[in-house]
Structure 1
Amino acid sequence: MTEAEVVMRNESGYITHTGKKDFGPLEFTGKIAGGLRLDLRRRAPLFCSDWTDAFTPDNFQKSVSSILYLFIAALAPAITFGSRFLDGTNGQFGVLEMIMSTALSGVLFSTFAGQPLSILGATGPFLAYTLVVYDLAVGSDLEFMPFYFWTCMWCSLFTILVAIFDLCALMKHDIFAGLISLIFIIDGVRPIIENFTEKRMTLTAAMFEALLFLYTFGLATYLSHFRRTPWLLRSMRNLMANFAVTISLVTASALAAIYSSDTSLRMLSVDADFSPNLVLSDGSKRPWIVNPMGIEKDFPVWAIFYAILPAIGFAVLGYLDQNLTSVIVNRPSNNLKKGPGYHLDLFVRGALTLPACAVLGLPLSVASTVPSITHVISLTTYEVKQLPEGEIKRPAKVVEQRATNFLIHVLIGCALFLAPVLKFLPRSVLQGVFFYMGIASLTGNNLFDRLFLWLIWDSSKYPQYHYIQKLPIKRVHLYTVVQVVCLAILYGLKAIKETSVVFPFFMASLAFIRKAMRFLFTEEELKLLDSLPDEDEDTEARATRAFVWPNPDQAALA
């Protein structure tokens, strides 16, 4: 039986096997591990080609360029998030651990997952909730590392159960993409503002850090749009746009190095001896393997079961973050042929990556939306047509395989040997990168697109969004108000220490709030307001309209 006979798409877009109709990737099967077994059946016949397709003569150049590009694109957030973990956990883990987590989790995921195009890394909600777990441990007079170990292990169990019982079928809507953007933006700029109120910071140092922050954000923003300018050659413009964050980070760090001795800049704290960041009371470093029963004092048995509470929160976040990215990567407009594996993705994360991070005491990594989308775009060959309203890009071919993801994370692991260099990165530069990631993630966010409509008072100037053309603007604004209120509550729960432990549960409850909105809106209205432009059209239209952009930068940030 040939590979083409094993894996085909039926008229509904679902994967079929040997011509027989199958359950959809996000449908309940009614059987224990039914969805997981179907994912294995979809992907197992393709496992060998997943490793070889990257290196065929037609795909080799695109694969190599994707590896080099995504290596930098994934390393920069790992460094930035590592610095945030370092500050938020009072040195329990930092940059070295975040790089190791990204590398190890990515290698395991790319080898065994059902959708190996998803790139793993840290995300804003995971950063926020890790700090919640740290506060719980400190507030209960518990050692953080053993408490974190048990939290991750319970989360591993819950994640495996979600995969076994087909609960991925509940993932139908993006209900917290706005939170991700908000965390990046607020947590990016807040430390820069707080510099001016800290007594230990001189005014000169605070001003210089603010300038570095603005320089990093401004240059990254400008270079990301550089392909629109007439300067240089097109290939050079694309290169500078693709590496906008890296160029900004390196040049800002170079400027900081010139004046650092005069301004007392705060630099990234990274040990060059390849040891964990946590320093014990006797001055030694903690061992790499976490002792679950206590490192410097006995860990109480009751705390093992107390860790179930934050573990449920982690499991909810992991479910939402992982599946949100997977749904976007697998959307029909990307024209992927090999099929998704939602349940298998969660199972691999629960059975492999979570225990590995628990044992080594590493921050958790999950499928990260922006790098994952960028990975798909970098592996896609487009058919381009010029029309009066803009450029139509239709994906003609995607290099679907595991090798690029695997090698990207191998290179990230090799970056651990750059630890002596990383200590020259100013923290204000990393805050600029963090802020830029938040602003960039607003592009294409349905909620923020509708928020910007509030600033346009002339209705004739509204963008031609699909729901604008079909709904009264008052109905659009009402829906936006409801979502903004939910987002404000969500961020407030996260920001207040006393309530931060419950914010994943409120996040999960948004699915029920969405169902209750049927009393305010009709089903047709909700369908239009929830959907992306390509979700209410047939497959042929989706493949065309989803790639109509007024300029090339929007395509790069899709």
Structure 2
Amino acid sequence: MAEAEAVYRYESGYISHSAKKDYGPLDFTGKLAGGLRLDIRRRAPLFCSDWTDAFMPENFQKSVSSILYLFIAALAPAITFGSRFLDGTNGQFGVLEMIMSTSISGLIFSTFAGQPLSILGATGPFLAYTLVVYDLAIAVDIEFMPFYFWTCMWCSVFTILVAVFDLCALMKHVTMFSEDIFAGLISLIFIIDGVRPIIENFTESRLTLTNCMFETLLFIWTFGWATYLSSFRRTPWTFRAIRNFGANFAVTIALVSGSAMAAIYSNDTGLRMLQVDADFAPNLSLSDGSKRPWIVNPAGIDRPFPAWGIAYAVLPAIGFAVLGYLDQNLTSVIVNRPSNNLKKPPAYHLDLFVRGALTLPVCAVLGLPLSVASTVPSITHVISLTTYEVQQLPEGERKVPTKVVEQRATNFLIHVLIGLALFLAPVLKFLPRAVLQGVFFYMGIASLTGNNLFDRLKLWLIWDPARYPQYHYIQKLPIQRVHLYTLVQVVCLGILYGLKAIKETSVVFPFFMASLAIIRKALKCMFTEEELKQLDSLPGDDDEEVEASKPGADLVNLEGQDETSKKEEMAI
């Protein structure tokens, strides 16, 4: 065991001493599958403890609470994303497919991946790009499902090649500049796609004014209650346990209460409900009125699929591969940050290989939306398994993680429960679409919290410099330089969203997203190294910073929940 600890000890990167040369987890090895083999070598001795650590007496309670908490946190977005896939693909996918994708992908990933703390699910960019793939199929009049099958299989090949040739090492060049823009895109997708159907209700002649107004009321009700309850833990009302319960399950409470109110008046208002089949059949109906089989026929379902369609699927497959590379690795980088105090080594190449070799082909064969490591649920998973110690400093308090229950059992059981949720299909059809739109909108607004780009955007609205928040870069740089850096990011975000929103250019938006790392390199022509160091870093990276104590605020719950869990039920 001592030898294993020597191999996996974290010092400025996890280093394998069994190789002739020391390689970190994001280093090029120059060998075929060299990084992948080193990942397996690092993680293999820990595989047994990955399953048993969750059930150690000192970890059992924390593991159980994390499972129940993350089950709800992952299920609510799966339902919401399922409804968005249903609308955007004209019924090709539905809620059952999204729940099944989340469950199966999560079970596979938690069993074989190198970083089992990452939670898989749908994300905003993957939703947007799946709709791009649908538009590409419709544009050339071919069946979407076989086209989607070949797109996923090509993506599987590209993803495996990325893992085999150590291309995860390129993540060393991705900084907070790119991460903030990527997170900003996710937020915009949630916000705009959440509110757009509510606005469009008033332009549809088939809907009465009563129907439009009531759906708007449900939208506001759901968003308002989720927002209020998410911060309920920081209020002085009631007992602490009740406050924590309300904050942890804010989205679920808002969703259930909105659905209950809709049930009372649904007969009078003609509300549009979620479309879910209670017989567990796929959502797509064929020309003869029957449901498509669960196994997708790559040669065509209703009509023959042309051979040129297989080659046509290469371009969107590359886009999916780029998105998957960024989504998966950005989440892994955040989970594996030294500040989280993880003891077991990361395995970036292994994570990507498992996704390419196992989860992608399964989703292709079954015709399911793709799932990828989702940042917010993954962070929440880490937080729920972490014990914190509060250090008192002259400037305030600092939360320091002292122990993380690193294992794969909680992730596995979370997705087992999500799979069992398929039996709730007869109940899901009573969820109003307006309520789900409210949840989607809440996800977008809540995900703005902690984004450095949007924090700096708020500075544009403050005219008195004396009222600026005391961010580390404000204390060390002229405000004009801060605003210029923010402007560059805003322009990049605008271009990125514009490319996604315009059908003629939407297929290339993942490639512009990948180019953000190059744009960041080019900023050296506009900013000094010191300026970039201050602006392109996390708020807590500077050792001089601490988290100031706020009166009445529960800064930390030593049983594993802290203030950041207000984002609990988002999936980006």
TM over 0.5: yes
Q: Which residue of the other structure, out of 507, 510, 518, is the alignment partner of 1:501?
A: 507
Deviations 1:245-289 (A, max 9, x none): 111100110001001111111100000000000000000000000
Q: Secondary structure at the match of 2:475?
A: coil
Contact persistence 1:268–1:425 (CA under 8 A): yes
1:53 corresponds to 2:53: yes
Q: Which amino acid aligns with 2:175?
A: H
Deviation at 1:7, TM superposition (A): 3.7
Aligned to 1:260: 266
Aligned to 1:167: 167
Contact persistence 2:16–2:24 (CA under 8 A): no
Deviation at 1:21, TM superposition (A): 7.3
Q: Which residue of the other structure, out of 184, 209, 223, is the alignment partner of 1:178?
A: 184
Q: 1:547 to 1:292 in 2, by over 3 A?
A: farther
Aligned to 2:241: 235
Contact persistence 1:393–1:548 (CA under 8 A): no
What are the residue-to-residue correspondences of 1:224-373 with 2, within 5 Å? 224-373=230-379
What are the residue-to-residue correspondences of 1:391-406 with 2, within 5 Å? 391-406=397-412
Measured in 1, the distance between the counterparts of 2:491 and 2:296 equals: 41
Q: Secondary structure at the match of 1:80?
A: helix
Aligned to 2:23: 23
Contact persistence 2:395–2:546 (CA under 8 A): no
Measured in 2, the distance between the counterparts of 1:195 and 1:154 equals: 38
Deviation at 1:547, TM superposition (A): 6.1
Measured in 2, the distance between the counterparts of 1:477 and 1:549 equals: 28
Measured in 1, the distance between the counterparts of 2:4 and 2:45 equals: 10
What are the residue-to-residue correspondences of 1:384-533 with 2, within 5 Å? 384-386=390-392, 390-533=396-539
Contact persistence 2:397–2:546 (CA under 8 A): no
Q: Secondary structure at the match of 1:93?
A: coil
What are the residue-to-residue correspondences of 1:376-391 with 2, within 5 Å? 376-386=382-392, 390-391=396-397
Structure 2: segments with no counterpart, 5+ residues: 556-561, 568-572
Contact persistence 2:396–2:546 (CA under 8 A): no
Q: 1:256 to 1:356 in 2, by over 3 A?
A: same
Deviation at 1:126, TM superposition (A): 0.2
Contact persistence 2:163–2:349 (CA under 8 A): yes
Q: 1:230 to 1:534 in 2, by over 3 A?
A: closer
Contact persistence 1:6–1:45 (CA under 8 A): no
Q: Which residue of the other structure, out of 224, 227, 232, is the alignment partner of 1:221?
A: 227
Deviation at 1:554, TM superposition (A): 4.2
Measured in 2, the distance between the counterparts of 1:295 and 1:349 equals: 26
Deviation at 1:549, TM superposition (A): 6.5
Deviation at 1:546, TM superposition (A): 7.1
Q: 1:330 to 1:557 in 2, by over 3 A?
A: farther
1:154 corresponds to 2:154: yes
Q: 1:492 to 1:46 in 2, by over 3 A?
A: same
Q: Which amino acid aligns with 1:283?
A: G
Q: Secondary structure at the match of 2:202?
A: helix
Aligned to 2:570: none
Q: Which amino acid aligns with 1:521?
A: F
Q: Secondary structure at the match of 1:254?
A: helix
Which stretch has the larger CA shift, 207-216 or 62-71?
207-216
Deviation at 1:228, TM superposition (A): 1.1
Deviation at 1:6, TM superposition (A): 4.6
Aligned to 1:211: 217
Deviation at 1:364, TM superposition (A): 0.2
1:88 corresponds to 2:94: no
Q: Secondary structure at the match of 2:472?
A: coil
Deviation at 1:448, TM superposition (A): 0.7
Aligned to 1:121: 121
Contact persistence 1:7–1:338 (CA under 8 A): no
Aligned to 2:564: 555
Q: 1:10 to 1:20 in 2, by over 3 A?
A: farther
Contact persistence 1:152–1:354 (CA under 8 A): yes
CA RMSD of aligned residues (A): 1.7
Provide the aligned length of Structure 1 versus Structure 2: 552
Measured in 1, the distance between the counterparts of 2:490 and 2:391 equals: 38
Contact persistence 1:132–1:500 (CA under 8 A): yes
Deviation at 1:536, TM superposition (A): 5.0
Which stretch has the larger CA shift, 18-27 or 237-246?
18-27
TM-score, normalised via structure 2 length: 0.94
Q: Secondary structure at the match of 1:468?
A: helix
Deviation at 1:13, TM superposition (A): 3.5
Measured in 2, the distance between the counterparts of 1:386 and 1:214 equals: 41
Percentage of identical aligned residues: 82
Aligned to 2:133: 133
What are the residue-to-residue correspondences of 1:88-107 with 2, within 5 Å? 88-107=88-107
Measured in 2, the distance between the counterparts of 1:210 and 1:3 equals: 62
Structure 1: segments with no counterpart, 5+ residues: none
Contact persistence 1:6–1:18 (CA under 8 A): no
Q: Secondary structure at the match of 2:450?
A: coil
Q: Secondary structure at the match of 2:70?
A: helix
Q: 1:118 to 1:514 in 2, by over 3 A?
A: same
Deviations 1:435-466 (A, max 9, x none): 11111111111111111111111111111111
Measured in 1, the distance between the counterparts of 2:348 and 2:464 equals: 44
Which stretch has the larger CA shift, 420-429 or 501-510?
501-510
Deviation at 1:165, TM superposition (A): 1.1
Deviation at 1:548, TM superposition (A): 5.8
TM-score, normalised via structure 1 length: 0.96
Deviation at 1:514, TM superposition (A): 1.3
Measured in 2, the distance between the counterparts of 1:304 and 1:243 equals: 44
Measured in 1, the distance between the counterparts of 2:102 and 2:10 equals: 36
Measured in 2, the distance between the counterparts of 1:112 and 1:546 equals: 37
Which stretch has the larger CA shift, 5-14 or 61-70?
5-14
Deviations 1:441-493 (A, max 9, x none): 11111111111111111111111111111111101100111110111111011
Q: Which amino acid aligns with 1:556?
A: S
